[in-house]
Amino acid sequence: MEDVKNNSGQNMGIAALITAIITFVLAVVPCVGIIAIIPGIIAIILASVGLSQAARNSNPRGVLLAGLIIGIIASLIAFSQIFVAGKIAQKADKWPNEIQNVINDVQDNVIKDIEDANISIKVESNGDKVEINTNTGKKDMEKKLEELEKVNTQTNDSVKPKK
């Protein structure tokens, strides 16, 4: 019975050390680094429980301490991945604005191209053809508007301001 008790502390140490080393390898891989927090905590708990058992039975604690230290370091590395992800996410916040600016530029360019373009719409139905040709002619419209404004200002000039 006592032998089983002695072994349990040792087994805990082996389990803690293996979990801690696997956690360490996982923690340094950015893809799965954050997940490594879970086995890291398990390794720390196993090592802590094993240490308390070893202290009671005055068993060797080398493996348990190694498991605990590696587990703590691995958990810290895994935890640091949260900060890395957070920093990248902060940078990523600026990207939507940059994308919006690019879209606005493209939209402006397209509108400028369309402004003076000729548009033709053709509709065919049962041999009948309807063709509509039009152009926005923004420049022509602007000229007309300027001419009209000139006429308006000339008529307005004749009105005397009230005192």
Residues at the site binding another protein, with contacts judged by CB under 8 A:
7, 10, 13-14, 17-18, 21-22, 25, 28-35, 63, 77, 80-81, 83-85, 87-89, 92
Q: How far apart are CA 142 and CA 84, in angstroms?
A: 55
**CB of residue 82 vs another protein: minimum separation in angstroms?**
9
Q: How far apart are CA 21 and CA 19, in angstroms?
A: 6
| 3-state class (DSSP) for residue 159 | coil
**Residues composing the chain:** 163
Q: What is the sign of the dihedral through the CA atoms of 33, 38, 41 and 45?
A: negative
Nearer to another protein, 38 or 148 (CB): 38
Q: What is the sign of the dihedral through the CA atoms of 20, 22, 25 and 30?
A: negative
Nearer to another protein, 21 or 45 (CB): 21
Nearer to another protein, 92 or 111 (CB): 92
**CB of residue 6 vs another protein: minimum separation in angstroms?**
11
Nearer to another protein, 32 or 102 (CB): 32
